A and B are shown apart, each in its own frame.
Chain A
């Protein structure tokens, strides 16, 4: 097995176990892994961005291909950096104005079309459909998302949840029943979201444990077993030292 794979296995195992050690209590091993994670992520992003943006998208096209028009976006981008010079900070507004203007212009029509119009279109589907041969029919299947019954459920859900967030009218009498129905729909939605979140978190745990099982193999040098022993020993030592420190009375001056 290549040496870099073995080193990678040892590093991955060590960092996984150090992070998991937080489940026992906060400790220096966890802090080490946490800070390494943040540092490596930021370092990787900076290097990758520098290589892709500065070298491949700006420097090479200008110097090697003579694409001088690229200096215009570069100049607009550089205006952002004037924020760090108080006297010239006003110039950054032009760059922000450009970004906000272009961004809004591109996003607003697309977002309205995708999230509002398309979703409204799907919410107000016809209750009955014309089926050739059967005439106008109403379908009762809960399993079919396009059935008449599901259309009613969605209509009731959307209306009641919207009413629940309508605070200009007091939720009393029939309004209270509608608002309570809205809460019911919201609770079902939150429950589904929480269920999926649990599944996602468990998937992450499964992923790490799969790697730990794989790295307990002799071909990697059994990093899981060695590093687990080291982590547990370190935690035990830290716990012992902390207890001893608590046991000693504070020194008087």
Chain B
């Protein structure tokens, strides 16, 4: 067996180990590679930055713990930005399995920024129906969510003063790990009730949402951990996403090198087989 053949039949657990080490070492010894801000992430940041104090900012945390590493840093960075701008934050989720996590995120950031539930922000929790909830909120927010996550009636909450439906929302953003998520918020929300919409999503979903971004259906897109790191850099509060970027770069480099090596070995084997065939003929 030649060296190339042996390398192509290498135990895959060795590759797992290489990737594991490439991830672990930069986390233990960060280098601090520069992070370039993309226009799609800046789109979300600039819009929130342009909102006057007291504007209504709706954030839908449409994910569950399985997507926490990518979407929690996005949520934390966005909420910190919104609270710093003194926006009225209305948080909710369309994913039943993400309710506890969403509550934990918003409570933690609100406490850190000194914000009060019911006055500065409200977490509406989850309501059944998926896209139907968006339509319901477009007609009457209080019939979709008669009470917030803690059981307080939503009617009369000072944070919701002057809000009757989605038309009163100044900016909405869906941080989504699937469906219902950004697309549902566009199709059943923005397209009908005409509020400005941004998106945040897992890396897997990002390529599918670029057509919406280009056509202006969403005004910005935060894609995966990379997008979260860009947003953390923009607000000047570096967190988990920025810390993970060195590891991300290292693993990407390792994968590129592995792909090149595999192709070189594969092509060399093919060339050798062709030469063998010619010599036999």
Is A114 part of the contact surface with B, judged by Cβ < 8 Å?
yes
Q: Are A205 and B204 in contact (CB under 8 A)?
A: no
Q: Are A106 and B125 in contact (CB under 8 A)?
A: no
Q: Which one of B158-166, B243-251, B261-269 is at the A interface? A: B243-251
Q: Are A49 and B191 in contact (CB under 8 A)?
A: no
Which 3 A-B residue pairings sit nearest by Cβ, starting from the closest?
A: A207-B69, A200-B203, A122-B215
CB B97 to nearest CB in A, in angstroms, measures 6
CA of A189 to CA of B248, assembled, Å: 22
Tell me the A90-126 residues at the B interface (CB within 8 Å): 106-107, 110-111, 113-115, 118-119, 121-122
CA of A133 to CA of B236, assembled, Å: 40
CB B139 to nearest CB in A, in angstroms, measures 12
Q: Are A121 and B215 in contact (CB under 8 A)?
A: yes
Q: What B residues does A52 contact at CB under 8 A?
A: 96, 125-128
Given contacts A52-B96, A189-B207, A204-B69, 9 further A-B contacts (CB under 8 A): A48-B126, A56-B151, A106-B131, A198-B255, A200-B224, A202-B252, A203-B225, A206-B225, A210-B27
Residues of B within 8 A of A (CB): 13, 16, 19-20, 23-24, 27-28, 68-70, 96-97, 99-100, 125-128, 131-132, 135, 146-147, 151, 183, 186-188, 191-192, 202-204, 206-208, 211, 214-217, 223-226, 240, 243-244, 247-248, 251-252, 255
CA of A197 to CA of B252, assembled, Å: 11
CB A189 to nearest CB in B, in angstroms, measures 7
Q: A190: nearest residue on chain B (CB-CB)? A: B207
CB B255 to nearest CB in A, in angstroms, measures 6
Q: Are B13 and A113 in contact (CB under 8 A)?
A: no
Other-chain residue from B186, B204, B240 in contact with A196 (beta carbon distance below 8 A)? B204
Other-chain residue from B99, B214, B244, B255 in contact with A122 (beta carbon distance below 8 A)? B214
Q: Are A206 and B247 in contact (CB under 8 A)?
A: yes
Q: Are B225 and A199 in contact (CB under 8 A)?
A: yes
The number of inter-chain residue pairs (CB within 8 angstroms) is 126
Q: What B residues does A206 contact at CB under 8 A?
A: 23, 27, 69, 225, 244, 247-248
Q: Are A205 and B23 in contact (CB under 8 A)?
A: yes
CB A124 to nearest CB in B, in angstroms, measures 11
CA of A118 to CA of B186, assembled, Å: 12
CA of A243 to CA of B183, assembled, Å: 52
CA of A13 to CA of B81, assembled, Å: 31
Q: Are A41 and B204 in contact (CB under 8 A)?
A: no
CB B64 to nearest CB in A, in angstroms, measures 8
Q: Are A203 and B224 in contact (CB under 8 A)?
A: yes
CA of A206 to CA of B25, assembled, Å: 11
CB B132 to nearest CB in A, in angstroms, measures 8
Q: What A residues does B202 contact at CB under 8 A?
A: 200, 203
Q: Are B186 and A114 in contact (CB under 8 A)?
A: yes
Q: What A residues does B252 contact at CB under 8 A?
A: 198-199, 202
Q: Are B68 and A207 in contact (CB under 8 A)?
A: yes
Known: A23-B13, A52-B125, A52-B128. A203 touches B192 (CB 8 A): no
Q: What A residues does B128 contact at CB under 8 A?
A: 49, 52-53, 57
Is A171 part of the contact surface with B, judged by Cβ < 8 Å?
no
Q: B72: nearest residue on chain A (CB-CB)? A: A207
Q: B203: nearest residue on chain A (CB-CB)? A: A200
CB B143 to nearest CB in A, in angstroms, measures 10
Q: Are A24 and B13 in contact (CB under 8 A)?
A: yes
Is A209 part of the contact surface with B, judged by Cβ < 8 Å?
yes
CB A42 to nearest CB in B, in angstroms, measures 10
Q: Are A200 and B191 in contact (CB under 8 A)?
A: no
Can you report 5 A-B residue pairs in the complex whose CB atoms are below 8 A from each other? Answer: A57-B127, A57-B146, A122-B211, A200-B70, A205-B19
Q: Are B215 and A48 in contact (CB under 8 A)?
A: no
Highest count of chain A CB atoms <10 Å: which of B28, B131, B214:
B214
CA of A193 to CA of B188, assembled, Å: 26
CA of A23 to CA of B23, assembled, Å: 15
Q: A197: nearest residue on chain B (CB-CB)? A: B204
Q: What A residues does B70 contact at CB under 8 A?
A: 200, 203-204, 207
Q: Are A118 and B215 in contact (CB under 8 A)?
A: yes
CB A217 to nearest CB in B, in angstroms, measures 13
Tell me the A2-38 residues at the B interface (CB within 8 Å): 23-24
Known: A196-B204, A206-B69. A45 touches B217 (CB 8 A): no
Q: What A residues does B135 contact at CB under 8 A?
A: 106
Q: What B residues does A197 contact at CB under 8 A?
A: 203-204
Q: What A residues does B207 contact at CB under 8 A?
A: 189, 192-193, 196
CA of A148 to CA of B206, assembled, Å: 25
Highest count of chain B CB atoms <10 Å: which of A107, A200, A213:
A200
Q: What B residues does A114 contact at CB under 8 A?
A: 183, 186-187, 191, 217
Q: What A residues does B186 contact at CB under 8 A?
A: 114
